[in-house]
Structures are given as structure tokens and as C-alpha cells.
A and B are shown apart, each in its own frame.
Chain A
């Protein structure tokens, strides 16, 4: 029996269906990240878990107990909001202690709890200030303090970092991860930022237009995307997706890709049996930028390397890496080269393809072939 079980949950707003039957189960201590483009229904799902939106259909189980009809205040859940939603006229201490006050916790206990949380979040010196006198990062901490102080069974975070600037966002991300590890808390966290999802989650649920696309560990979602959407959404720069044709060479399936005047043939390593059935049919193959490199950086130990020469059309140094853009299979593809690689557009160079990481998709259904 899982700790939180979202069982075939649907949500309608009048005529429109916003969630079309979501199934997710997580264990105690899990850090579940709901990720997907804006408007796909992440916040709606989170609000339903909190009890702030009604559940049109399906069942919500917390610790085995059905909580569909339980009032939000009685679910033993705390939530951190994107806008922080700090009570503007109360001090920081008042904000953090409000939930305890509503639960009639005696004053001295409240005081202790507030101080303990403030210490954990390093906001002890802010306790007497009003939210209007705080910076964005400080407000964010107070919002977290308000959730932490209640010691709930489940924490909900709705895009808590999206109002912070880039540097602070990264710092807070680390801090949230540390908090999770230290407290062993169970967290459901919403974001549209796939990097945040990858770094924080123990489980990722990728959503799109009210449907769950894939549920798995970050590694599973990254390496084994279930469909084209997940493949394209997770990872930055995103996965290279190119048109190919499956042909048999020596009775083994090979992906034939248009490359300039000629063709490039990449041997199939993964899902080989499934792809046999695709002989002489078009597929879309996916390769992460880091699976296409210069020959010297190729991972020859774990991978299966296939080398070829291609023309570079654009070079994008990022400091940590150099990305080379080349034309293959009708698309521009990104290859991650060793830092300091000297390349210029129009130049021919050797590329190493790690075909052990190559995945294939059905162009019609957009599902993974496996």
C-alpha cells in the first residue's frame, strides 16, 4: 500500500476537462515532481491533493485513507505557493505561527516551534518584520517555514522557486533538497522547469494537457522516455530527434539516416527485437546531445561508438562545453564536444555516435518502440 495514491483522478471545469484520469502512487519519503508545460493541470492536481479544488472523479488516498471529502485544514497537509501568499499584515513570526494558532496550540509551544523552524531556515533575525520588508528569497523562506512548522504528513510545493532570480533559484533548490533529505519528508512539487525536476525528484511525473505521460525516476525519464513528448521536454539542450528508416543489414536492424548527399547507418542496440518488426518503415530516433561527441570524448567503455564525418553548420560555445550543430536526417542536431574544441562553420569533422543510447519512436502514435 502506497503512502499517497492518486487513483484515476479527473477534473472538469464546466465543459472543459482539465485532468483526464491521473494515476500516481508514491511512498513515504518520496519527492514527487509534477512537471509539464504551463496549463497542463499541475496546479489543479496539487490543489486537489490539498483539498482546495474539488475532485470531479477518482479517488485520493493518503495513508490508505480516502480523503476526497476531508476539509483542507484536516488533511494534515502543508503547501508552499508560487506567490508565497504571506499574510501581509502579520509579522514573519505571525505568519509562521498562524497555522498552529488556528489549531489552538498553546502560545509557548508555538513560540518554540517558530524559533526552531526559523533557525533551520536561518531567518531568526527576520521574525519581527512584515512580509513587505523582505526580499524575494526571504519571503520564500518564510513561506517554507510556514509549511515546515506544522510538521505535516505531506508537503505540497507549487512552483516555489519560479519568482526568484536565477542564482537564488539554484541555491534554494539545493536547500530544498537538503531539507528533504534531512527531514525525510514526503513532498509533491510542481514545476515547469525540467532541470528543477531532474535535480530534486526521486520520482518524476511528466504531464501534458491533463494526461500523465510518464512516471519514473529521473534517470528513467531521461534515458528511457516513453514517448516523443517526454523525450523532447526533458533535458536541455533537448534530445535530437531525427527521421530514419529501419533496414536490415546482415539480418540485424539498422537506422538509415539521410546525411548530406549520402546516408548514415547507425546500428540498433536498444530495443532491437521490437525494431525488427519495423523493417523498411520510417521511425524517429532520439539521441541526447551528449551521445554525439568528438571521437576523443566518446565513452568507449560503456557505449557502442559509431564514427562518421559531417559538416558543422554552427558552433555554440557555452564555456563548459562546445555545442556543434550539424544537419542530419532532415533536422539540425546538437552535438556536445569537448570544451576548447576548435571548429568553424563549414568544416568537416569526425563525430562519434553512442548508439547504445539511441531510442526510437513511432512517428504516428509518437510512442516509444520497445
Chain B
């Protein structure tokens, strides 16, 4: 680690200069301590309290947690986030990597194509949800279009099918994030040492084998970052579901984020809402903390 300047010297000015950095950092740090860590503690405490519509600081032990765990909707939400998260992460990575590799073949219009794959990232989930809700609208959207094009038997009504609605959200979410993942992989591909690939070619390895055996294994850090970014986006998924299905039909597309919101602001069950939020935080923390730890440790050397 490079040592930081620590100028010597007495006098008021020098002493000021030594305090200044911490002074400048402190507003942010205090904000974070209060609004992040203070709030985490508060919410955690509430999850063990009797709070309903208003905070009630009397200790309730695991009452809210057992209510949460016995909730039918919470079960659906967990089930959905599991399906959604898995499909979302895997599809984005597979498609993103595929697009990155295809784009890396000295493609003529690479810049334009990259822009096209990437623009959904600029859109809000609400806009994305609005667009896809319309696009997949069973009465007027894709289904009707296919019928008019002559494919009379085509049927696509997942949006209103409680068993399938969650998959429409996966489609929209993947559409939005693939480009970003592609860009990450593309940057990773461009960072690989070209000489190693030349060496493999001289050794006579065919292109697909070079990708499988040499290039893709070297993208491991990108895979890791992609999983972290996507998992984090998946657990926070809220906007897209609200915009596309509102959690419906029925409760069929509920996820922990929508569950928490409705218990917090519609049903006035602060205790359960807090417990569900703490659970979400715990899952993310279990994923993120080791990642951050290893990243920060690496930069130490």
C-alpha cells in the first residue's frame, strides 16, 4: 500500500490541514451511519416488536417472524424470487456472454449494435414494465399481431395466467439487463492478453476450444461481478413487478419487495414488513459482504 502524505509541521494551519480531511468526510459518514446503519438497527428492532400501524417498542420476540413465516403470500414471494432470480441471473449471463462473444468477432457495426443492446438499461423499470405490459397484452399485443399475420393458433396470455405471469417479468427484466452484462463481458474479453490466444492458436486449438478452455475461464472475475450485480438487482426487483402485474394476477407475482411494501404501507403491519426487510438484507449481506471483503482485500496488496 502506498503511504499517504502526512505532512509534518506545527502551527495552527498545519494542524487544521491534518483535521480537514476527516472533517470533510464526516458529513457523508454521519449521514451513512444514521440513515443506513441506524435505520438497519431500528428496522431490525421493529421486527422483534409488537409494531403494527405505529411503532410499538414492546418486545415481541419472534412473533412477527413466525407470522411472516406462516404467511401464504410470503411463501409465494420466496418461491417467486427464487424462480425469478435464478432465471434472470442465468439468462442474462448466458445471453450477455453470447452477445459479447459474437460482438467480439470483428463485427463491422459493433458500435451501433452495442448501443441497441444497451439502451434498455437507460429506461426505468416503470417504462420497461409499461412497454412490455402493452407488448404482451393478450387482447391487443403480440397475440393479436400473430393472429393477424395468419398464425391463428398462436396463444400468449402469460401476463394474465397466474402460473406463468412471473415468466413475463423475467423476459422484461432480462431484456433490460442483458446489454449491461454484455458490456461487462465485452470489457473483460478486451482485457485478455492477446499473446496467450496467439500461443493457443499456434498450439493448434480450434476457436471454440480457445473460448472454452482459455478465454472463458479468465472471465471469472466478470462472472462473479455479474452474479453480484444481478442478484442484487433481482432482490430489489419491485418497480418492474408493480408496473407489469402489480403483483398479480392475485398474488401470483408477489416477491419479497412487493410483499414488504404492501405490509408496510397498505396493510399497516410494520412488524411483519420489518421482518421481511431484515430477511432480504440478510440474504444480500450473505452474498455481498464476502464479495466486498475479497475485493477490498485484493486492493490492499
Contact = CB atoms under 8 A, between A and B. Distances in A.
Interface of A: 13, 51-55, 68-72, 74
Which of A13, A55, A71, A74 has the most chain B CB atoms closer than 10 A to its own CB? A71
A52 B7 contact: yes
A51 B7 CA distance: 6
Contacts of B11: 71
A70 B13 CA distance: 12
B9 A53 contact: no
Contacts of B9: 51, 69-72, 74
Contacts of B7: 51-52, 71-72
A370 B11 CA distance: 50
Contacts, number: 29
Q: How large is the interface on B (under 10, 10 to 19, 20 to 34, 35 or more residues)?
A: 10 to 19
Interface in B13-46: 13-14
B242 to A, nearest CB: 45
Nearest to B17: A71
B217 interface: no
A54 B5 CA distance: 9
Contacts of A54: 6, 8
6 contacts: A51-B7, A52-B6, A54-B8, A70-B9, A71-B9, A72-B9
Nearest to B14: A71
B9 to A, nearest CB: 3
A52 to B, nearest CB: 5
A54 B9 CA distance: 9
A53 B6 contact: yes
B300 to A, nearest CB: 14
A55 B8 CA distance: 8
Contacts of B204: none
B10 interface: yes
Contacts of A72: 7-9
A52 B3 CA distance: 10
A69 B14 CA distance: 10
A71 B8 CA distance: 5
A69 B6 contact: no
Nearest to A51: B8
Contacts of A74: 9
Contacts of B5: 52
A13 B3 contact: yes
A205 to B, nearest CB: 22
A5 B135 CA distance: 81
A69 B5 CA distance: 15
Nearest to A71: B9
A70 B7 CA distance: 9
B8 A68 contact: yes
Contacts of B8: 51, 53-55, 68-72
B10 A69 contact: yes
A54 B3 CA distance: 11
A259 B9 CA distance: 61
A74 B13 CA distance: 12
A68 B14 CA distance: 13
A339 B3 CA distance: 49
B181 to A, nearest CB: 33
Contacts of B6: 52-54
The list of the 10 closest CB pairs from A to B, nearest first, reads A71-B9, A69-B10, A51-B8, A71-B14, A72-B7, A54-B8, A52-B5, A69-B9, A70-B9, A54-B6
A52 B13 CA distance: 16
A60 B100 CA distance: 59
A15 to B, nearest CB: 15
B14 to A, nearest CB: 5
Nearest to A68: B8
A54 B4 CA distance: 11
A84 to B, nearest CB: 16
Contacts of B3: 13, 53
A51 B17 CA distance: 14
Contacts of A52: 5-7
A72 B13 CA distance: 12
Contacts of B10: 69
A231 B240 CA distance: 73
A74 B10 CA distance: 11
Contacts of B13: 71
Which of B5, B6, B9 has the most chain A CB atoms closer than 10 A to its own CB? B9
B64 to A, nearest CB: 47
Contacts of A53: 3, 6, 8
A55 B9 CA distance: 11
Contacts of B14: 71
A34 B11 CA distance: 31
A69 B13 CA distance: 13
A51 B14 CA distance: 12
